[in-house]
Amino acid sequence: MDVAISTYAELVAFAENVRNDYEHYQKAHAVLKNNIIVTPDDAAWTQGIGSVSENKPFMGIFDGQGFAVVSLLVNNTDNGALFEYIGSQGVVKDLAVIDCDYAVISDCAGGIAAVNEGLIDHCISGINTESQKLIQFNDGRKRSLSEFNSAVNGIVSGGIAGHNKGTVKGCRSSAYVIGKDCGGIAGINDGKIYGCANNGPVGKDSIVNKRCAGIAVVNNGTIESSYNSGKLTGTTQTVFASVAVENNSDEIIHVFYHQTENLTPFDDDSSDYQPTEACKALTIEYMITKAFADELNAVTDDSVQWKHIAYNGVKTNQGLPIVKGRFIENVTVVNDAKMKIKAAILKAMKINYKPMMLRSASYNTMLSAAGSRTMTCAYDMTASDQNGNELPAELWCEGITVSVPVTTNDAQIIILDDQEKAVVVTPDSIENGWATFTLTEPASFAVAENISSDEPTPTPTPIKPDDGNVKTGESSMPLTAACAVLLVSVLAVLMTRRKKNRE
């Protein structure tokens, strides 16, 4: 049975159907058609997909297609998660769950699933940012990026799965994991964790937790080609381990962890096996480099690809390696005589760009950063999904390349960072009258050139756009007109200078 899910109501109905009409829905092929934004008016998530108590595991396929479920509120004291029970034939893939909170403490909690016996593949739980940048939903609500992390709260809790009996592959958790026994990827691992990363704090705000681990509190299975960079916190009675507190398996292969004083990969008193030679302690300074991503790729097969994304001082996932999204595509946003934009993005997202409004706060910030240089172009760039919702870029963007026309070879690019501060950078290249630079995510930018003249050079005036947006695949005529006026102004200055020189 094929099931298309586009709204929260349809997601709730699907969970109910799996439980109440199990014969028809247990092996359903569900496909998420867009991002689902749960609003404050929506009901809490009281029953996940599948049922442990009724022995009704979800045995089908849930394909997220790179989309996200945002702002889920879990209210289940038994097995709290989007998926309560994934069965041995069940597959959940290419899905992000962010800003997931718990109204209660569950017995078993997970960022994606409470209990997994199948495959959780290329999924994301939470986001890793402290940015206060505001993003907007289509209902007008605005929230800062730092509010979009998840907080998984259970007696046994894991960033991806509370109890993993199957396979967790190519997944990344940045969620706060809270509980008595809490692990960055799984609370208990009886299966396989492969090509996964935990970047989130484990044990944060947990005054009751007694065991806290970077990957899994209890490991009876396999942990391979994975890493932990998350901070472990707790009380003076908490038992910590960078990989697993209680390790009962020798299937630990190529595991990396952040080197922290007094922390070991395994707890000496709890572990039957301590294959420390299979674990490698690293400094955080090394873990945020491309070299670490390359090292991970060297020990991971082609089913999982690691990427380090950092351009002009702005880093995705705070510079730590991410797992390349399988629905990320190289898209040409615009390619005309006045602007070229190419992006590695989830194709369903739309890049919106427009000439910056004259004398706006952003414009004045950039103008001040330009100093004595002439600001020849200034643009606002944002992105939204097909429903007009903005989302954290680390979920859907792996780099944006922008090329703009320039008249000099010493042009500079001014970018507004997530704190609305101007950052001046040198273009990646200036060739044939085009300056090219790369962004980790959509951002406002301007071009500043050192155009000398005996006459005072007026600041070019951006053209007020007709509708405020130019989207992927649409005409960029407002931009063309804007750049034409700006270039005419610059050429006029140069011609005046030449005339004076001849005199």
User: How much is the mean pLDDT over the chain?
Assistant: 89
229 vs 215: CA distance, rounded Å: 10
| pLDDT at residue 370 tops 90 | yes
CA gap 460, 463 in Å, rounded: 9
Which residue has better confidence, 132 or 439?
439
Distance CA(443)–CA(498), nearest Å, equals: 37
pLDDT class of 158 with cuts at 50, 70, 90: very high
340 phi and psi angles, rounded to 5 deg: -130, 125
Residue 463 phi/psi, 5° resolution?
-80, 130
In this prediction, residues 379-387 reach a mean pLDDT of 94
pLDDT at 492: 43
- pTM metric for this prediction: 0.89
Q: Where are the domains of the chain?
A: 88-129+151-323, 328-502
User: In this structure, are residues 155 and 108 in contact, taking their beta carbons and an 8 Å threshold?
Assistant: yes
Residue whose pair of structure tokens reads 């096996």 in the numeric block:
273
For 408-463, the pLDDT digits (tens) are: 999 999 999 877 889 999 999 999 999 999 999 999 999 999 986 543 444 444 44
Question: In sequence order, what are the residues at sequence separation of 6 or more whose Cβ sits closer than 8 angstroms to the Cβ of residue 292?
Answer: 256, 282, 286, 308, 321
Q: Which of 32-46, 238-252, 394-408, 446-460 has the lowest mean pLDDT?
A: 446-460
Q: What is the pLDDT of residue 477?
A: 37
Q: What is the pLDDT of residues 49-75, one digit of tens each?
A: 999 999 999 999 999 999 999 999 999
CATH 2.60.220 fits 328-502, yes or no: yes
Q: Which residue has the tokens 């190529």?
A: 254
**pLDDT surpasses 50 at 1:** yes
DSSP 291-352: HHHHHHHHTS-TTS-EE--EETTEEGGGG--EEPPTTEEEEEEEESSS-EEEEEEETTSEEE
- Does 201 score more than 70 pLDDT? yes
Express each pLDDT in 165-174 by its tens digit. 999 999 999 9
Strand 445-449 and strand 412-416: the pairing is antiparallel
